[in-house]
Chain A
Amino acid sequence: QKEVEQDPGPLSVPEGAIVSLNCTYSNSAFQYFMWYRQYSRKGPELLMYTYSSGNKEDGRFTAQVDKSSKYISLFIRDSQPSDSATYLCAMSVIAAGKSTFGDGTTLTVKP
């Protein structure tokens, strides 16, 4: 079983919908939680970054971490066609120097 599990989708929603993307993990030592967005034929780009539990909001994006359940989420409000991409979660242990990535969820937002 992988340390980080992510539903690959694909997920297709209409424009304006609220999108929920999720990852579960098994390593309780993870303290840093990241979301990356990857457009087709591009490298992943860092979208959001949180430390430990709680919520973080950035515009239409909200990242949520529930360490008790070992579950993280990314919410996208008022989704746009430009949000169509693959979203990868990533996690790391303090000072490990490397992250463990999920396999990514492919999202399509239809106009």
Chain B
Amino acid sequence: DARVTQTPRDKVTEMGQEVTMRCQPILGHNTVFWYRQTMMQGLELLAYFRNRAPLDDSGMPKDRFSAEMPDATLATLKIQPSEPRDSAVYFCASGYGETQYFGPGTRLLVL
């Protein structure tokens, strides 16, 4: 049963530190998404890739966030420097067509 995997599952860090989140999409899926979920804002699309090329990162604060896909099996989301307002659950999802399959998320707490 193919699944999207994400690491780490939980991360606690101090303000100003760099945070790197990793995602392994489902093999064969050509689109990869990064989302952030909070109680206040719901599910927000940060960035997405198709065939490893970035298509849209307009949802990301560009001064501190960066998303890359160095190969077809790995997507990364980095925050540098992190701030308390970045505390949220970050989901990676992959898909082919209109449907998406989500990973378990990385729960980030920035103190």
A is bound by B: yes
Binding site for B on A (CB under 8 A): 32, 34, 36, 41-46, 49, 88, 92, 97-99, 101-104
Interface centre among A34, A41, A99 (most CB of B within 10 A): A99
- Distance of B11 from chain A, by nearest CB (Å): 15
- If A43-B104, A97-B48, A98-B45 are given as contacts, then 7 extra A-B residue pairs at C-beta distance below 8 Å, sorted by A number, are A36-B102, A41-B107, A43-B105, A44-B102, A45-B102, A97-B31, A103-B43
Residues of A within 8 A of B101 (CB): 45-46
Interfacial chain B residues near A43, Cβ < 8 Å: 4, 91, 93, 102-105
* Chain B interface size, under 10 / 10 to 19 / 20 to 34 / 35 or more: 20 to 34
Query: Nearest chain B CB to A65's CB is how many angstroms away?
Result: 14
Residue of A nearest to B92 (CB): A43
Interface centre among B33, B43, B45, B55 (most CB of A within 10 A): B43
Contacts of A42 in B (CB 8 A): 104-105
* Chief secondary structure at chain B's binding surface: strand
- Known interface pairs A43-B91, A88-B43. Does A98 touch B48 (Cβ–Cβ under 8 Å)? yes
Q: Which 3 A-B pairs have the closest CB atoms?
A: A43-B102, A103-B42, A32-B98
Q: How far is the CA of A43 from the CA of B101 in the complex (A)?
A: 9
Contact mask B50-80 → A, CB, 8 Å, 1/0? 1000011000000000000000000000000
Distance in angstroms between the alpha carbons of A36 and B93 in the assembled complex: 13
Q: Would you give the shortest CB distance from A41 to chain B, in whole angstroms?
A: 8
Contact B98 A92 (CB under 8 A): yes
